[in-house]
A and B are shown apart, each in its own frame.
Chain A
Amino acid sequence: MAVTDAQIEYLEDMATHIREDIIIMLEKAGSGHSAGSLGTADIFSTLYFHVMKHDPKNLDWEERDRFVLSNAHICPVLYATLAEAGYYPKKEIMTLRKLGSRLQGHPHKGALPGLEASGGPLAQGLSIAAGMAMAAKIDARRSRVFCMVGDGEMNEGQVWEALMFISKNRLHNFTLIVDRNNIQIDGFTEDVMPLEPLHDKLTSFGFHVIEVDGHNIRRLIEAFEETIFEKPKVLLAHTIPGKGVDFMEFKPEWHGKPPNKEEADKAISELEQLRSLGGKITGEHE
Chain B
Amino acid sequence: MSNSLNKKFHLAGNIFDSPDQVPARNGYGEGVVQAGYADENVVVLCCDLTESTRNAKFKETFPERFIEIGIAEQNMAGIAAGMAFSGKIPYISSYATFNPGRNWDQIRISICYSMANVKIMGAHAGISVGPDGATHQAMEDIAITRCLPNLKVIVPCDYWETKKAAIAIAGIESPVYMRFGREKIPVITTEKTPFQIGRADTYRDGQDVTVIACGSLVYEALVAAEKLSGDGIDLRVINCHTVKPIDEKSIIKAAKETGAIVTAEEHQVHGGLGNAVAEVVAKNSPVPMEYVAMMDRFGESGEPNELMHKFGLDSKGIIKAVKKVLRRK
Residues of A within 8 A of B (CB): 62, 68, 108-110, 116-121, 123-136, 138-139, 157-158, 161-162, 164-165
Q: Can you name the residue of chain B whose Cβ is closest to the Cβ of A106? A: B109
Residues of B within 8 A of A109 (CB): 85, 113-115
Minimum Cβ distance to chain A for residue B242 (Å)? 24
Residues of B within 8 A of A116 (CB): 85
B40-87 contacts to A (CB < 8 Å): 43, 64-65, 67, 69-70, 72, 74-87
| Contact between A132 and B85, CB atoms less than 8 A apart | yes
A-B complex: 4 closest residue pairs judged by Cβ atoms: A131-B82, A127-B78, A135-B86, A131-B79
Residues of A within 8 A of B114 (CB): 108-110, 117-118
Q: Can you name the residue of chain B whose Cβ is closest to the Cβ of A72? A: B109
A165 to B68, CA, bound (A): 9
| Contact between B64 and A128, CB atoms less than 8 A apart | no
Interface status of B306 (Cβ within 8 A of chain A): no
Interface status of B132 (Cβ within 8 A of chain A): no
A161 to B76, CA, bound (A): 9
Interchain Cβ contacts within 8 Å, total number: 107
Give 30 A-B contacts (CB < 8 Å), ordered by A residue.
A108-B113, A110-B114, A116-B85, A120-B109, A121-B108, A124-B106, A124-B110, A127-B75, A127-B77, A127-B78, A128-B78, A128-B79, A128-B82, A130-B75, A131-B78, A131-B80, A131-B82, A131-B84, A132-B82, A134-B67, A134-B82, A138-B65, A138-B88, A139-B86, A158-B72, A161-B70, A161-B74, A162-B79, A165-B69, A165-B79
Residues of A within 8 A of B173 (CB): none
| Contact between A127 and B109, CB atoms less than 8 A apart | no
| Contact between B85 and A126, CB atoms less than 8 A apart | no
Interface status of B105 (Cβ within 8 A of chain A): yes
**Mostly helix, strand, loop or mixed at chain A's interface?**
helix
A131 to B80, CA, bound (A): 6
| Contact between B74 and A131, CB atoms less than 8 A apart | no
| Contact between A162 and B75, CB atoms less than 8 A apart | yes
Query: A109-B114, A116-B85, A135-B88 in contact; A130/B109 too (CB < 8 A)?
Result: no
Residues of A within 8 A of B90 (CB): 131
B84-111 contacts to A (CB < 8 Å): 84-88, 90, 105-106, 108-110
Known: A117-B85, A124-B78, A129-B82. 16 other contacts (CB 8 A): A108-B113, A110-B114, A117-B110, A118-B113, A121-B105, A126-B78, A128-B85, A130-B79, A131-B78, A131-B80, A131-B82, A131-B90, A138-B64, A138-B65, A158-B72, A165-B75
A235 to B115, CA, bound (A): 30
Residues of B within 8 A of A131 (CB): 78-86, 90
A125 to B79, CA, bound (A): 9
Minimum Cβ distance to chain A for residue B165 (Å)? 24
A128 to B118, CA, bound (A): 12
Q: Can you name the residue of chain B whose Cβ is closest to the Cβ of A147? A: B82
| Contact between B86 and A128, CB atoms less than 8 A apart | no
| Contact between B78 and A135, CB atoms less than 8 A apart | no
Minimum Cβ distance to chain A for residue B256 (Å)? 39
Q: Can you name the residue of chain A whose Cβ is closest to the Cβ of B64? A: A138
Residues of B within 8 A of A120 (CB): 109
Residues of B within 8 A of A124 (CB): 78, 105-106, 109-110
Q: Can you name the residue of chain A whose Cβ is closest to the Cβ of B84? A: A131
